[in-house]
């Protein structure tokens, strides 16, 4: 009996890979290894509808249990991988057993970055990356509770919006001079701040955290300027790191995650990596890119399935993302790193506009606020081939 295709990681990319492998005609055995006890589920709602108890746990599931039965997938959930034996083509589990593979697909995702200050391990300090994280966080929320969020990126802002609606007293602390400093221009940052403060969230920017106070349980956040913010709950939202340790220990090449080519192949035979953990070459941006997005998880899984089954494929997507806060939908097409100028179109005061980002004259990204048409047009424009220069007459 031949060894199966083994998928390590049970998230969005893994679920899509299973569906796409079967669609592409893969008939071999598939084993899915996941360290959580849950079937693959959606993660974006964790900081939105699921956090607000507006979405039941079963509705988070990407596929019903029957899908895995019909797809002949052996599920091994609640199972931690200890080591990858690439030479022996096997995955070693924490219980000491070995799972042989013919093809290995790594979809291990990301984890919350640790908050690097004293007191970060106190009870009452949370991050949100999983169902169980949200359950622990929700168990401590109550109207009037003082929540301090550390980090003014999308997760921090989304949780601030939802916690505010649940009646918590929310303060958000961001070390950069403005919100979303790494992922948006000043216009979007100012809009996000006005939105949050308009709903009663207190925002402190350009402010570091010295330590979290308390003995067994957190009682406050001490800022670098000496101020002390009382807190019943603290949320750390300071970014994520790729879960690439198993790959690194096995000797796979890394470059901001697991390094893969345009066919999602890693640096060892019969090993692929997809989703948040994988960095791939982007012709569009002229560098390697690692994306933490649903779009990337789905599309790269489809590309890997084609490559595994022998189809020609080159994965070079136009990245896109979204964030929901209150009644505002922010959509981003492209990557804005290195922009040299912007153009704003629409009505910022009315909350319906877009910002186009350019590297000199080349459009590289568009942020749209409650403007889905501009978002779709941006994705088409970014996907279009670059115009060819007109030859000079002889």
* Sequence spans of domains, the chain: 5-111+241-308, 114-238, 327-383
Mean pLDDT, the chain, rounded, equals 95
Domain 114-238 has CATH 3.30.930.10: no
The whole-number pLDDT of residue 1 equals: 64
Structure confidence by residue, pLDDT tens digits, 292-341: 999 999 999 999 999 999 999 999 999 999 999 999 999 999 999 889 99
Its pTM stands at 0.94
- The CATH number given to 327-383 is 3.30.390.30
Q: Quick check: do 114-238 and 327-383 share a fold? A: no
pLDDT (tens, 9 = 90+) of the chain, 394 residues, equals 689 999 999 999 999 999 999 999 999 999 999 999 999 999 999 999 999 989 999 999 999 999 999 999 999 999 999 999 999 999 999 999 999 999 999 999 999 999 999 999 999 999 999 999 999 999 999 999 999 999 999 999 999 999 999 999 999 999 999 999 989 999 999 999 999 999 999 999 999 999 999 999 999 999 999 999 999 999 999 999 999 999 999 999 999 999 999 999 999 999 999 999 999 999 989 999 999 999 999 999 999 999 999 999 999 999 999 999 999 999 999 999 889 999 999 999 999 999 999 999 999 999 999 999 999 999 999 998 764 433 333 3
Architecture of domain 5-111+241-308: 3-Layer(bba) Sandwich (3.50)
SS (H, E, C) the chain: CCCCEEEECCCHHHHHHHHHHHHCCCCCCEEEEECCCCCCECCHHHHCCCCCCCCCHHHHECCCHHHHHHCCEEEEECCCEEEEECCCCEEEECCCCEEECCEEEECCCEEECCCCCCCCCCECEECCCCHHHHHHHHHCCCCCCEEEEECCCHHHHHHHHHHHHCCCEEEEEECCCCCCCCCCCHHHHHHHHHHHHHCCCEEEECCCEEEEEECCEEEEEEECCCCEEECCEEEECCCEEECCHHHHHHCCCECCCEECCCCCECCCCCEEECHHHEEEEECCCCEEEECCCHHHHHHHHHHHHHHHCCCCCCCCCCCEEEEEECCEEEEEEECCCCCCEEEEEEECCCCEEEEEEEECCEEEEEEEECCHHHHHHHHHHHHCCCCCCCCCCC
């Amino acid at each position: 009996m031949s060894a199966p295709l083994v998928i390590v990681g049970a998230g969005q990319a893994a679920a899509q890979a299973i569906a796409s492998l079967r669609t592409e005609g893969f008939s071999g055995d598939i084993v899915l290894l996941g360290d959580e006890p849950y079937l693959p589920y959606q993660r974006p709602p964790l900081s939105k509808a699921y956090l607000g108890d507006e979405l039941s746990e079963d509705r988070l599931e990407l596929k019903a249990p029957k899908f895995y039965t019909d797809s002949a997938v052996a599920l091994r959930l609640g199972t931690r991988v200890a080591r990858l034996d690439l030479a022996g083509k096997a995955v070693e589990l924490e219980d000491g057993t070995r799972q042989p593979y013919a093809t290995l697909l790594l979809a291990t995702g990301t984890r919350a970055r640790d908050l690097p200050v004293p007191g970060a391990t106190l009870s009452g300090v949370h991050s949100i990356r999983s169902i169980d994280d949200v359950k622990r966080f929700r168990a401590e929320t109550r109207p009037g509770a003082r929540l301090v969020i550390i980090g003014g990126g999308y997760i921090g802002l989304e949780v601030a919006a939802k916690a505010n609606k649940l009646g918590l007293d929310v303060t958000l602390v961001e070390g950069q001079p403005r919100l979303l400093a790494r992922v948006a221009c000043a216009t979007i940052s100012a809009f996000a701040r006005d939105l949050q403060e308009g709903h009663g969230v207190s925002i402190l920017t350009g402010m570091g955290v010295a330590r979290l106070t308390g003995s067994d349980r957190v009682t406050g956040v001490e800022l670098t300027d000496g101020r002390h913010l009382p807190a019943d709950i603290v949320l750390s939202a300071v970014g994520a790191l790729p879960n690439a340790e198993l790959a690194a220990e096995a000797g796979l090449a890394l470059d901001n995650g697991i390094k893969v080519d345009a066919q999602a192949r890693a640096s060892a035979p019969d090993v692929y990596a997809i989703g948040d953990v994988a960095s791939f070459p982007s012709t569009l941006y002229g560098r390697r890119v690692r994306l933490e997005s649903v779009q990337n998880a789905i599309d790269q899984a489809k590309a890997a399935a084609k490559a595994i089954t022998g189809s020609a494929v080159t994965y070079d997507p136009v990245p896109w993302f979204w964030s929901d806060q209150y009644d505002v939908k922010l959509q981003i097409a492209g990557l804005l790193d290195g922009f040299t100028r912007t153009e704003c179109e629409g009505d910022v005061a009315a909350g319906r506009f877009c910002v186009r980002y350019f590297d000199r004259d080349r459009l590289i990204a568009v942020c749209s606020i409650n403007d889905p048409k501009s978002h779709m047009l941006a994705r088409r424009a970014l996907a279009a081939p670059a115009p060819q220069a007109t030859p000079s007459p002889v």
